[in-house]
């Protein structure tokens, strides 16, 4: 389809800026609901992106957007758990996703983002979204105070498109948030990641359970080891920027990997894919508003949270989905302000809860994931449920009730109505009123004896 030149414009029900997980999910749902939608993506897919470890609740979201079969066909690495090594004490434990509440999906995936993001974008297009790649949004168009469209560069020409709603899923570019000066930096979380991908990984060298993420912390930061293909592993070292400035990225990366013997073992003999380690700023930020006249802000365009708990893609996709549902409700007659407020309350609840979990890890438990898992109120069943993606737990859920009590960890200055109803598993989850005869915490955070790791790996429940 040829778009109109700059003298005229094409009208859509919605325009989505950005084709990452949030934007593609939003465009899919808008199209699935029978509305016209134009998605403008600046890059050409597939393209590299970091952020490969996913939480278990994401799989249910895959089912909600009718993409789970495509994910299975994609042959992505199934993630059945995470191992946590506390370097300062040598305490090694495994979080088994098989211990989530009955009725929940007991696994997740590690995703090669180049492949996954393209599958998701193609899914939106297959459903009816008009997708333009290498289309760069240059200007926001207003009708009075209402955002009414965009100007964008595509195939060497300038084009204009207008819509009832514009959804900003432009990631860190944050076109709408920056235009309205809504973005605020989070000074509590300012880390940097140095990472490398390794190919030709030898399975026998990995001391962990197949598919598990290897997580290791030490006094200066933490590391990830994520198998993103059967023979490819993503390895990253996260630290304060001040530490990175003490040396060059190559030396810092090697030094931090040397502090994690299990990750070092997993990549023994493997070949680095990048000429040198890449650096990614993990500086966190948030937007005070997620909606306004004619617009919604979703995904990293709205908030970016430290990646330690792997919930970023899940929250991005969920907010993209909920923005699409809000748009459909408005077209169906729901009051604009009510639909927008419901959307913003749900998203803010999710991100505020997620920030609190991250603060607890860094500031309350000093980057000791095992200590955190065993000592947060309520026992590890509620910790696992929170880690898995329930950031909307009921008022009396012990973990989030405790974290919400810390006023110094409030994310947003503007008040919002907290949502206590999980949009993924509204009825299937652990509850504070459940019997006290739950499996003891040790079975939820299994201690691993490194001397008998081979036997543990063979006996692990997958």
Model confidence pLDDT, tens digit, residues 266-319: 999 999 999 999 999 878 999 999 999 999 999 999 999 999 999 999 999 999
Query: Do residues 232 and 249 both lie within one domain?
Result: yes
Q: Is residue 179 domain-shared with residue 156, that is, in the same domain?
A: yes
Task: Indicate whether 229 belongs to any domain.
Answer: yes
Query: 378 and 269 in one domain?
Result: no
Domain identity same for 265 and 304: no
Q: What is the pLDDT of residue 462?
A: 35
What pTM did the predictor assign?
A: 0.93
Question: Which DSSP state fits 360?
Answer: I
Contact of 419 with 349, CB cutoff 8 Å: yes
- How far is Cα 157 from Cα 161, in angstroms, rounded to an integer? 13
As a dihedral over the C-alpha atoms of residue 141, residue 316, residue 222, residue 377, rounded to 10 degrees, the angle is 130
Token pair listed for 434: 């459940």
Find, among 354, 371, 460, the residue nearest to 78 by Cα.
460
**The predicted structure's pLDDT at residue 455:** 40
- Cα 349 from Cα 345, distance rounded (Å): 6
Please tell me the predicted confidence (pLDDT) of residue 190: 86
Q: What pLDDT is recorded for position 379?
A: 83
Q: Return the pLDDT at 87.
A: 87
Containing domain of residue 361, as a range? 1-49+112-186+286-425
- pLDDT tens for each residue of the chain, 462 residues long: 344 444 467 999 999 999 999 999 999 999 999 999 999 999 999 999 999 999 999 999 999 999 999 999 999 999 999 999 998 899 999 999 999 999 999 999 999 999 999 999 999 999 999 999 999 999 999 999 999 999 999 999 999 999 999 999 999 999 999 999 999 999 888 899 999 999 999 999 999 999 999 999 999 999 999 999 999 999 999 999 999 999 899 999 999 999 999 999 999 999 999 999 999 987 899 999 999 999 999 999 999 999 999 999 999 999 999 999 999 999 999 999 999 999 999 999 999 999 999 999 999 999 999 999 989 998 888 999 999 999 999 999 999 999 999 999 999 998 999 999 999 999 999 988 875 545 555 555 677 765 444 443 433 333
Q: Which residues pair with 285 in a beta bridge?
A: 185, 304
* Mean pLDDT of the chain, nearest integer: 92
Q: Which of 237, 265, 281 corresponds to the end of one domain?
A: 281
**So what's the pLDDT on residue 6?**
47
Hey, which residues does 194 pair with through a beta bridge?
237, 279
- Note the Cα 407 to chain centre separation in Å: 24
| Shared domain check, 375 and 296 | yes
Q: Are residues 331 and 269 in the same domain?
A: no
Question: Which of the listed residues 225, 260, 281 is the one where a domain comes to its end?
Answer: 281
Q: What pLDDT score was predicted for residue 283?
A: 83
HEC readout, 382-415: HHHHHHHCCCCCCCCCHHHHHHHCCHHHCCCCCC
**Does a structural domain hold residue 74?**
no
97 in any annotated domain: no
Which of 281, 298, 329 is where one domain is finished? 281
Helix or strand (DSSP H, E) at 304? strand 303-304
What is the CATH classification number for the domain harbouring 256?
Answer: 3.30.9.100
Backbone angles phi, psi at 172, to 5 degrees: -65, -20
In this prediction, residue 3 carries a pLDDT of: 44
- 283, 185 in Cβ contact below 8 A? yes
On whether residue 238 sits in a domain, the answer given is yes
Which uninterrupted H or E stretch holds 119? helix 113-127
Angle CA(423)–CA(426)–CA(428) in degrees, nearest 5? 130
* Pair 388, 328 in one domain: yes
Indicate whether 462 belongs to any domain.
no
Q: Are residues 116 and 218 in the same domain?
A: no
What is the tally of structural domains in the chain?
2
Return the pLDDT at 355: 97
Q: Is residue 75 part of a domain?
A: no
378 assigned to some structural domain: yes
Residues 368 and 297 in one domain: yes
CATH number of the domain bearing residue 169? 3.50.50.60
Same domain, 301 and 389: yes
| Sequence-separated (6 or more) residues with CB below 8 Å from residue 21 | 116, 117, 120, 299, 313, 316, 317, 320
Closest CA relative to residue 385, chosen from 398, 403, 395, 371: 398
Residue 104 lies in a domain: no
**Are 275 and 404 part of one and the same domain?**
no
Tell me what pLDDT residue 453 has: 46
Answer yes or no: do 305 and 384 share one domain. Answer: yes
């Amino acid at each position: 389809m040829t778009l109109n030149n700059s003298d005229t414009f094409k009208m859509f029900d919605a325009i989505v800026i950005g084709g990452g997980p949030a934007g593609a999910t939003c465009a899919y749902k808008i199209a699935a609901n029978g509305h016209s939608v134009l998605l403008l993506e600046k890059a050409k897919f597939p393209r590299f992106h970091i952020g490969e470890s996913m939480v278990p609740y994401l799989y249910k979201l895959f089912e909600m957007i009718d993409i789970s079969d495509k994910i299975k066909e994609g042959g992505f690495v199934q993630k059945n758990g995470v191992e946590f090594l506390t370097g300062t004490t040598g305490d090694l434990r495994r979080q088994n996703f098989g211990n989530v509440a009955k009725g929940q999906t007991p696994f997740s995936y590690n995703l090669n983002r180049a492949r996954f993001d393209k599958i998701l974008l193609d899914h939106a297009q297959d459903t009816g979204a008009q997708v333009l790649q290498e289309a760069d949004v240059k200007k926001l168009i207003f009708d009075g105070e209402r955002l009414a469209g965009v100007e964008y560069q595509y195939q060497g020409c300038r084009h204009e498109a207008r819509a009832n709603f514009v959804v900003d899923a432009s990631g860190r570019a944050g076109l709408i948030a920056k235009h309205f000066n809504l973005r605020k930096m989070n000074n509590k979380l300012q880390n940097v990641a140095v990472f490398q991908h390794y190919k030709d990984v030898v399975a026998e060298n990995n001391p962990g359970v197949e598919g598990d993420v290897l997580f290791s912390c030490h006094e200066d930061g933490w590391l990830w080891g994520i198998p993103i293909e059967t023979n490819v592993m993503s390895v990253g070292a996260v630290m304060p920027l001040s530490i990175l400035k003490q040396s060059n990225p190559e030396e810092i990366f090697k030094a931090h990997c040397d502090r994690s013997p299990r990750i070092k073992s997993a990549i023994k003999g493997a070949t680095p894919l990048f000429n040198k380690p890449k650096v990614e700023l993990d500086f966190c930020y948030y937007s005070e508003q997620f909606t306004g006249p004619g617009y919604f802000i979703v995904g990293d365009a709205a908030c970016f949270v430290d990646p330690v708990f792997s919930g970023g893609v899940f929250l991005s996709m969920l907010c993209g989905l909920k923005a699409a549902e809000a748009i459909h409700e408005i077209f169906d007659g729901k009051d604009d302000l009510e639909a927008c407020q419901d959307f913003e309350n749900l998203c803010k609840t999710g991100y505020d809860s997620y920030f609190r979990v991250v603060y607890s890890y860094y500031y309350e438990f000093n980057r000791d994931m095992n200590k955190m898992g065993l000592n947060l109120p309520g026992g590890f069943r509620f910790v696992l449920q929170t880690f898995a993606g329930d950031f909307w737990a009921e008022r009396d859920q012990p973990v989030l009730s405790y974290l919400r009590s810390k006023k110094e960890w409030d994310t947003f200055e503007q008040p919002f109505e907290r949502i206590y109803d999980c949009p993924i598993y509204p009825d299937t989850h652990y509850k504070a009123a459940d019997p006290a005869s739950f499996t003891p915490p040790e079975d939820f955070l299994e201690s691993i004896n490194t001397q008998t790791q081979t036997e543990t790996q063979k006996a692990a429940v997958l």
